[in-house]
Amino acid sequence: MSTPYTFAIFTSAASLPKDWDQLAQHNLFLGREYLSILETSAPENMRCRFVGVFDGDGLVGIAVSQFVDLSNVESFGDRDSCLKTKVRNIVFKNFSSKVLFMGNNMLTGQNAFAFSDGIAPRDLLQILQKAAGQLLAEFKPHLVVWKDFTTQQAEWFTQGFANYFQFQTQPNMVFDIPSWRSFDDYLAALLKKYRDQYKRARKKAEGLDKRKMTLDEIRHHQPDIYRLYRTVADKAPFNTFYLPEDHFAVFKQALGDRFLFYGYFDEGRIVGFSTLIKNGCDIDTYFLGYDADCQRDKMLYLNMLYDMTAYSINKGYKRIIFARTALEIKSSVGAVPKDAWGFIQHRNALANRFMPKLFKYFEPESVWQQRHPFKD
């Protein structure tokens, strides 16, 4: 059935409709300012397109898409360096290396689109399908992926998605902060086992100097920061991109105090960093990096999680978006898993028939145990 809605595709944040940010007001990652950062400091293998959905002259929906070319990326990281990995890389690069994401592949959560009361979700998706068709003609990808949606949002994907495989990714780890007034309230709510874990981590980290870094400091330490980032990124089981070296400096310059960059120093040498983004009532964790030896000896990653939690509670935020990966340790500080769903289609009809098996082959299900750190 036809709809009264139309769409337009934009290649630059500067060309977006003037009322774009009105629809993006509840999500920084859909706003013009963030999208302009993607233009100047996106990964080399990524090209972004922005979609406006209109009812007549009125903007009723906005969306982000990313075309990612994985043909020159070592997608399967050092963690799985073996013959199976080499075979997977060959197969992937020849048959699945060009991917169109309807959404933001650099983030976890529903950062694909936003819409007004003037359009129903299913109508929005119907017109975004048409926009995706135009992007398919432009980029000619092997795969089309829509990500990441809650269980309720996934129910919108009906008409036009019969040939897509619905998959469940690693959950989004989210900490819904109770009405605590300070980090001391958080510590008081912990079970003894997890309070002891906190004390042990802090003891291990004695001697480390943590400080909020300015734009000039980020630029000064940029080569070391990038090395620390790659230490973590290269251990991931699967990579679809690598950030450019100046990414954090560009982010800081554009967002100012809304982007927090913390460096961890040992005798004057930077050994780790973490980043946070203020996004309305939420704190979104972003990328981090660390020296592998310091991580082992100082429990650096766990200390970063506690620091993120302390900041968010003390500043009165409602949620911390810890994203996916490292699920168990994130749950040990209080994050809980939120289901995340996606939809994937291979443009080759034969390959698409086997998508359920192919998906499991490329990224096996993670096995982990959720921790429950708080008193009843």
Mean model confidence pLDDT for the chain: 93
Which pLDDT does position 202 carry in this prediction? Answer: 98
DSSP 6-73: EEEEES-GGGS-TTHHHHTTT-GGGSHHHHHHHHHHS-TTEEEEEEEEEETTEEEEEEEEEEEE-TTS
pLDDT of residue 84 exceeding 80, the answer is no
The CA distances from residue 164 to 138, 158, 160, 169, 271, in Å, are 20, 10, 9, 15, 43
Q: How far apart are CA 326 and CA 50, in angstroms?
A: 31
Q: What are phi and psi of 14, to 5 degrees?
A: -65, -20
Q: In this structure, how many other beta carbons lie within 10 angstroms of the beta carbon of residue 196?
A: 11
How do residues 165-184 score in pLDDT, each as one tens digit? 999 989 999 999 999 999 99
Identity (one letter) of the amino acid at 180? W
**What average pLDDT does range 25-29 have in this prediction?**
97
Lowest mean pLDDT among 1-15, 62-76, 240-254, 278-292: 62-76
In 223-292, where do the E strands start and end? 259-266, 269-279, 282-285, 289-290
What type of residue is 223?
P
Contact criterion met (CB below 8 Å) for 263 and 208:
no
CA 154/CA 166 separation, integer angstroms: 9
- Give the model's pLDDT for residue 91: 60
Q: Which domains, from first to last, does the chain contain?
A: 5-170+339-362 (3.40.630.30), 173-337 (3.40.630.30)
Percent of the chain with pLDDT over 90: 85
- Using 50, 70 and 90 to split pLDDT, how confident is the model at 92? low
Helix (H, G, I), strand (E, B) or coil at 273: strand
- At residue 82 the predicted structure's pLDDT band, cuts being 50, 70 and 90, is low
Confidence of residue 120 (pLDDT cuts 50, 70, 90): very high
